[in-house]
Amino acid sequence: MQSETTERTEKQISRRTFLSYINVAIGGFIATVLGIPLVGAAVLPALKQGQSNLVSAGAVTDFEVGQPKSVAVTVTTKDGWIQSQEDKGIWVIKKSESDFTVFNGRCVHLGCAYSWRADLKEFVCPCHGGTYTIDGQVIAGPPPRPLDTLQWTIDQGKLMVDYKDFRLGVPQKEAI
C-alpha cells in the first residue's frame, strides 16, 4: 500500500506547479499574439522598399531621338487592403533606339512640375526658377541636386518604368 501512495504522489503535479505552467502558457500566447504584428511592422517596410512599381510609358516607337516627351503614367499603390491609383508625370528622352533617360516629373527642390523649353533646350521649373539641362543637371536656381532618374526596361516593344518618388529639397537622392 505504501508503494501505491508514493507512486500516486510522484505522478501528481502540485497546485503551484500547475499554476506556473498555466501562467507560462498564457504568457506565451500573449507574446505570440502581440509579437506577430510587431515583427510585421518592423519587417514589412523593408520589404516594401524592395517592391517595384513597373508602369508602361508607351511604345518605344512613340519617342523621337533627342526630343524630351512628357508622359503621364498611372501608378498603383497598396496600403494594407486599400489599393489606389494615381497619375504621375515623367519625362522620357530617347537617346538611341535602345537607350533612354527617364526623369521623375517633379522638381527636386519642392516637387513642382517642370516643363521642357525647346527654344532654350532646357527644363524649367516655374515655381522658383530651377533650370536643368537635357541631362538633368542643375543650371540655375535652388534645386539641391540633378533631376531624379528612374530605372527603365524594354519589354515587348514597350518602355517600362520603375516609378518612384524621392525626398525633396535634400542634396542626396533618397527614395520615399
Q: What is the pLDDT of residues 55-71, one digit of tens each?
A: 999 999 999 999 999 99
50 compared with 144, residue with greater pLDDT:
144
Q: For position 52, what pLDDT does the model report?
A: 65
Q: How far apart are the C-alpha atoms of 115 and 79, rounded to whole Å?
A: 31
Identify the burial level of 94 via C-beta atoms within 10 angstroms of its C-beta, where 0-12 means exposed, 13-18 middle and 19 or more buried. Answer: buried
Q: How far apart are the C-alpha atoms of 162 and 156, rounded to whole Å?
A: 16
Q: For position 81, what pLDDT does the model report?
A: 83
Average pLDDT over residues 133-158: 95
Q: How far apart are the C-alpha atoms of 122 and 62, rounded to whole Å?
A: 21
Q: How far apart are the C-alpha atoms of 57 and 104, rounded to whole Å?
A: 12
Q: For position 38, what pLDDT does the model report?
A: 79
Q: For position 151, what pLDDT does the model report?
A: 96
Q: How far apart are the C-alpha atoms of 71 and 68, rounded to whole Å?
A: 10
Q: What is the pLDDT of residues 9-57, one digit of tens each?
A: 556 788 888 888 999 999 989 988 888 887 777 776 665 555 568 999 9
Q: Which of 71, 51, 49, 50 is nearest to 60 (CA)?
A: 71
CATH of the domain spanning 54-162, picked from 3.40.1110.10, 2.102.10.10, 2.60.120.10, 3.30.70.141: 2.102.10.10
Asked whether 73 and 85 are in contact (CB, 8 A), the reply is no
Q: For position 4, what pLDDT does the model report?
A: 55
Q: For position 109, what pLDDT does the model report?
A: 95
Q: For position 17, what pLDDT does the model report?
A: 87
Q: How far apart are the C-alpha atoms of 100 and 60, rounded to whole Å?
A: 9
162 Cβ contact list (under 8 Å, min separation 6): 52, 53, 54, 150, 151, 152, 153
Q: How far apart are the C-alpha atoms of 133 and 121, rounded to whole Å?
A: 7
Q: How far apart are the C-alpha atoms of 102 and 150, rounded to whole Å?
A: 5
Q: What is the pLDDT of residues 96-135, one digit of tens each?
A: 989 999 999 999 999 999 999 999 999 999 999 999 999 9
81 compared with 44, residue with greater pLDDT:
81
